[in-house]
Amino acid sequence: MDRAAFKMDSAEKRLNELGYKQELRREMVSILIIFPLFSLFFVDNFGVWIRMFFMAGFLQTLFKTLAITFSSMAVFTGSPLYGPSLRYAGPASLIWGWVVVTFFTWFVGFAMAEICSSFPTTGSLYFWAAHLAGPKWGPLASWCCAWLETIGAVAGIGGQAYSAAQAMQMIIFLATGNNKGGGYFASRGVFLCMYMGFTIIWAVLNSFALQVIAFLDIISMWWQVIGGLVVIVMLPLVAPHTQSASFVFTHFETSPEATGISSKPYAVILSVLLSNYCLYGYDTAAHLTEETKGADRTGPIAILSSIGMVSVFGWAYYLALTFSIQDFNYLYDVNNETAGALVPAQIIFDAFHGRYHNSTGAVVFLCIIWGSFFFCGLSVTTSAARVVYALSRDNGIPFSPIWRRIHPKYKVPTNAVWLCATISIILGLPILKIDVIFTAIISISTIGWVGGYAVPIFARLVMAEKNFKPGPFYLGRASRPICLVAFLWICYTCSAFLLPTLYPIQWKTFNYAPIAIGISMTLIMLWWAFDARKWFKGPVRNIDLGNGYS
């Protein structure tokens, strides 16, 4: 074996064993981060992990992977959904719903971490699905998973662009005088321009070397941690008065006059959509495994650490918002200072205006929240481009040779980046006419992204244990029950996002995500039945396994 072989880390060797040569640059380096120690309970050799954990290179790579993964989830990402979720069933359902969703999310996270440790390649979910499903069902499993993942990731860019544009709309509105002082409220056309502008900026930044994105994601992580702490701690302290604990944790109230939903179970399901939407995206670590050193170890830790951090920070953020409510009914009044457009913005405005009689503090806090959306969108763009690149590398997308091209200098899939940005911009065009575009975009994103998790997890659940080659992170006997719970939870989550969110059903209130997903998947499966099954065989090996790596 030549000298180059000795320089490979375990993840690159595993990548070669799986039939892939290293193409994307592994240059994810940074500094120390502490991760949840309970994520080590299922690791085979605890002593080896402890020694490895204190190796500088491992720590550096771990932090960078965690930064990008944490940025893709984001602390404030559910802010646009907070108002509707609060209105469906009151604060108790929203707050405790977060705890329930977090509990089940851990099952998905552990299942994903185990598989990620075994398959450190950029193909991630659909690559996993192909290998776990075996030679007979692998091509179909990888085909379904790849397209679900692609739909979810690309729509995710649109979701973050919309959220960033809405936050910017509120910042400008309050900074120029608010709804009662002649403030400027961006029109649909201007809103769409902001939406497109953020998408283009993310694409430009993702067209440069990975060091640029990695550096920005480090800023993002500290922005969200420090900014999150500032908002979480300061908001209740600034608020002139706070709600009681009984209101926050026990008050249940439906609003059938506003939502058209009188069924309490239905209202609870819809109120929990906030948590379902916020607590995914941790598979970003898997998309970047081919660009990180020691990915068979850092990937699983980044997945579990991101879930732990976002679940804690996110719950604290929504607790801070709920405790700081001044007048519940006033939040939804179209004549209030924010025109009833974004409930968290009104809560923050009421707190600062009630205490200091100006909106400066509210604008600053909204800038912190906007920054979270911006960085999250940047990371989601990174993840989406890697999904498209991986699928095109295996000839699974039209004009694959174009989208799999790697920039000769920066070693990033530039064409895939701009394809994702273009599709996201197209998804946003209905902003000019449709009121519920955000609901549709996030529903498509969640169903596609989370639905993509289900395929490899189900394949892992039903495969023979002897056929699974575990990585450093291995669940052992706990694998099957964890995968079963994870799979059932994913099925529930996807089903919930197909439901109508307002009644009576009209064009302005219609959740068209089921139609969009249905048409897309029908076309994709027809393509498979009549053509793709003849030539698509799943991940394509691009290395000769007879070279000494197998």
Q: DSSP code of 528? A: I
Of 203, 146, 208, 196, the C-alpha closest to 400 is: 146
What's the whole-number average pLDDT of the chain? 82
Report the distance separating Cα 278 and Cα 258, nearest Å.
24
Cβ pair 317, 232 in contact under 8 A: yes
For helices 188-205 and 360-393, what crossing angle results, to 10°? 60
d(CA 232, CA 242): 13
* pLDDT for 212: 76
Of the CA atoms within 13 Å of residue 155, those in its CB half-sphere come to 25
Could you tell me the CA-to-CA distances from 547 to 20, 26, 118, 405, 540 in Å, in that order?
12, 22, 21, 25, 17
pLDDT for 294-323, tens place per residue? 667 777 887 888 888 888 889 999 999 999
pLDDT of residue 73: 62
Is the CB of residue 320 less than 8 Å from the CB of residue 231? yes
Residue 387 β-bridge partners: none
182: number of Cβ within 10 Å:
8
So what's the pLDDT on residue 480?
Answer: 94
Q: What is the pLDDT of residue 110?
A: 94
d(CA 326, CA 353): 11
Does the bond joining 240 to the residue before it have cis omega, within 30 degrees of 0?
no
For residue 412, what pLDDT is reported? 83
Closest CA to 486 of 307, 312, 317: 307
Alpha carbons within 13 A on the beta-carbon side of 251: 16
Q: How far apart are CA 330 and CA 514, in angstroms?
A: 33
Q: Are 342 and 80 in contact (CB under 8 A)?
A: yes
Q: How many CB atoms lie within 10 A of CB 538?
A: 23
How far lies 253's CA from each of 87, 96, 261, 263, 265, in Å? 8, 14, 12, 11, 12
How many CB atoms are closer than 10 A to CB 195? 26
> Looking at the whole model, is its pTM more than 0.85?
no
| Residue 47: predicted pLDDT | 47
3-state SS, residue 43: strand
Alpha-helical segments (H) within 177-209: 188-205
What does the DSSP assignment read for 114-132?
HHHHH--STTHHHHHHHHH
Cα distances (angstroms) measured from residue 430 to each of 192, 342, 448? 9, 20, 20
CB 81 within 8 A of CB 53: no
**Positive or negative CA dihedral for 51, 54, 58, 64?**
positive
Identity of the residue numbered 196: M
For the record, the structure tokens of 30 come out as: 């940074």
Beta bridge partners of 473: 43
pLDDT in single tens digits along all 550 residues of the chain: 444 444 455 545 555 555 555 444 444 433 333 333 333 344 444 444 444 444 444 445 555 555 555 555 667 888 999 999 999 999 999 999 999 999 999 999 999 989 888 876 555 688 888 889 888 898 999 899 989 988 998 999 999 999 999 999 999 999 999 998 889 999 999 999 999 999 999 999 988 766 777 778 778 878 888 898 999 999 999 999 999 999 999 999 999 998 899 899 999 999 999 999 988 877 766 655 554 556 677 778 878 888 888 888 899 999 999 999 999 989 999 999 999 999 999 999 999 999 999 999 999 999 999 998 998 898 889 888 888 888 888 788 888 888 888 877 777 889 999 999 999 999 888 888 777 788 888 899 999 989 999 999 999 999 888 888 888 888 988 999 999 999 999 999 999 999 988 888 877 777 888 888 999 999 999 999 998 888 888 776 555 444 333 3
Residue 50 amino acid letter: I
Sequence letter at residue 509: T
How far is it, in rounded angstroms, from Cα 427 to Cα 430? 7
Task: Give the pLDDT score at 170.
Answer: 96
Calculate the dihedral angle through the C-alpha atoms of 440, 445, 447, 449, rounding to the nearest 10 degrees: 180
> Quick one: tokens of 208?
């440069």
Residue in this structure with the two tokens 């650490």, named with its chain if needed: 305
